Amino acid sequence: MINLLQYQSVPDWPALSWLVRLDDGSQAARVYHGAHVETRDDWFCEAVWAGEFAGGDFDRTDIVAGSGGRLRQGQLVFVSSGSTVDRLQFLRSAHSTWISNSLVCLLAAVGGSVDPSYPRYFRDLRSIAEGLDKYRRVLVTSAGKVEFRFFDNLVWDGRRFTEVAKPASCADLESFDDYRGFLDRSLAQLAENARDARRQRTYRLLGALSSGYDSVTVTALASRHGCRHALCVERARDGSDDSGIPIAPYLGVEVLQVAGDGWRAESQPEAEFIAANACGEEVYLRSAEEHLAGSVLLSGYFGDQVWSKTPRDPGPNLTWGEHGLSLTEFRLRAGFLHCPPTFWGARELRRIHAISTSSEMRPWDVPGNYSRPICRRIAEEAGVPRELFGQSKRAVAVLMHFHDFLSPSSLSDYLGYLSRNRGAWLRRGRLPPVPSRHFDSVVRTAVNLCWWLARRVGWRSLAARLLEPVHLRSYVFPWALEHAKQAYPQSPDGVAPGGSAPGGSAPSGSAPGTTPSA
């Protein structure tokens, strides 16, 4: 039973990070937190939700962005985001459990690290793309097994966690008006929560605009509830104009323009993005940090699934991708919340899909493979001309595992890291990667050719296992974690300092990330 939350502010930590120590049988939970985490007698959070702020009932809705903890009748409910763009992580030791909204914070506090020679962190951490029932839940570290939880809540009864499904806030969805009304009401409640004067720090809504469907749809909805600014990235990954700037006047929002490659001019900008999901594809938002601080970023992640006429999986498992997850560590430091309204009601995806393909939506179903009738109707009824959006599919994500890679300052540091840690490969009887940018260029060309051949003959899975260890990109996650830990220089009282691992070393012969899902 837990009946007391004991708080300790750690000023040097990222403003929205938190870490909780739970001792078996103790009636008190020790909460260590950054400067902008909201703390009350029976709850704490870095979150916004569809409900009154003062009530602290973020555990009683699935329309929540961010995370926190809520005391309920002797149990402590840990609340994860109502999406897959954030997660909770916890680690058990002999007599205590640590849980945090940051993997970096958790490992920095308990002195944990991962294996530099393990090549499949990217594959393991992106497994959330397979849905809530299939993602890899365990990451082996020197401090013990870290367990991940997406979307659902965790209830601590004094000795163990129980996973509990979030309550469903979605009303019956039989028509487009039902669905748009649900989104509209939810945004109104969330906007009021975000600007509540009883907060230590209020938040403003921040949209995004591109030439596609999803961000335009979200910003069109949010513009009715106080959203007055929208981020626009100048160009897509292929160099084409993807800014969405012509759309802004129709929605009454001011454009905040971001250079898609501006991050490359900064010193080692990628680490905190890669440390979240081993990929770091949202690093392009690093140059938008000043705009993001103090905001609720309303993104369109998951729109590819929920608003598509042909969803990949129409079930309730949120099968889609790991996109958006790389923002987690960055946002905790920069001080903003990430909220994709696309996830609202997504466990009723079959009903949403039925609306998309219904006869009432035919006027907004355009010819071709790139048609999203729900998006088009919402945007056009908000006044956006049909020809300004949804004409072709573009993307701005940085593909570090395929085309792009580290900025010059980061690459130099990373190659030095590989040289210093070559013993990790030798101890496992493996050849260490060659720390050379030019050699990696040759390898990448060969690997791309092998991938092309493997796809043609149906050996893609085999090719992945054989070729993955060759890439320099395959080992960038451990490097990024060590860099990101510098954001947590101070070890709070009662938490093991760096180098003191509460859970012991990783099991003999077990490579990090290979433990079966819990």
Check residues 473 and 238 and name the one with the higher pLDDT. 473
Give me the pLDDT at residue 361, please.
97
List pLDDT tens digits, range 126-146: 999 999 999 999 999 999 999
Mean pLDDT of the 469-474 span: 76
Mean pLDDT of the 317-336 span: 91
Mean pLDDT of the 373-396 span: 88
Provide the percentage of residues in the chain whose pLDDT is more than 90: 66
CA distances from 137 to 91, 368, 465, 515 (A): 12, 39, 20, 9
On whether the CB atoms of residues 342 and 333 are closer than 8 A, the answer is: no
Give me the pLDDT at residue 38, please.
98
Give me the pLDDT at residue 394, please.
59
Give the Cα separation of 498 and 3 in Å (integer): 30
On whether the CB atoms of residues 231 and 256 are closer than 8 A, the answer is: yes
The pLDDT confidence band at residue 401, using thresholds 50, 70 and 90, is low
List pLDDT tens digits, range 95-111: 899 999 999 999 999 99
The pLDDT confidence band at residue 479, using thresholds 50, 70 and 90, is very high
Return phi, psi of residue 266, to 5°. -90, 165
Give me the pLDDT at residue 512, please.
41
The pLDDT confidence band at residue 388, using thresholds 50, 70 and 90, is very high
The helix-helix angle for 176-194 and 214-222 (nearest 10°) equals 60
Give me the pLDDT at residue 400, please.
63
Give me the pLDDT at residue 399, please.
60
Mean pLDDT of the 272-292 span: 93
List pLDDT tens digits, range 426-453: 998 888 888 887 777 776 677 667 766 7
Give me the pLDDT at residue 359, please.
96
pTM of the model: 0.90
Least-confidence region, from 5-9, 127-131, 377-381, 468-472: 468-472
Give me the pLDDT at residue 391, please.
78
Provide the percentage of residues in the chain whose pLDDT is more than 70: 86
Which domains are delineated in the chain?
4-166 (3.60.20), 176-388 (3.40.50.620), 408-474 (no CATH)
Give me the pLDDT at residue 139, please.
97
Q: For strands 75-79 and 64-72, give the pairing.
A: antiparallel
CA dihedral 104, 108, 111, 116 (to 10 degrees): 40
List pLDDT tens digits, range 142-153: 999 999 999 999
CA distances from 108 to 46, 97, 102, 366 (A): 20, 15, 10, 51
List pLDDT tens digits, range 42-89: 999 999 999 999 999 999 999 999 999 999 999 999 999 999 999 999
Mean pLDDT of the 13-40 span: 96
The pLDDT confidence band at residue 294, using thresholds 50, 70 and 90, is very high
On whether the CB atoms of residues 258 and 232 are closer than 8 A, the answer is: yes
Give me the pLDDT at residue 516, please.
33
Return phi, psi of residue 18, to 5°. -150, 155
Give me the pLDDT at residue 438, please.
77
Q: For the chain, what is the mean pLDDT?
A: 87
Check residues 321 and 436 and name the one with the higher pLDDT. 436
Give the Cα separation of 432 and 117 in Å (integer): 8
Give me the pLDDT at residue 77, please.
97
Give the Cα separation of 124 and 510 in Å (integer): 14
Give me the pLDDT at residue 405, please.
80
Give me the pLDDT at residue 320, please.
77
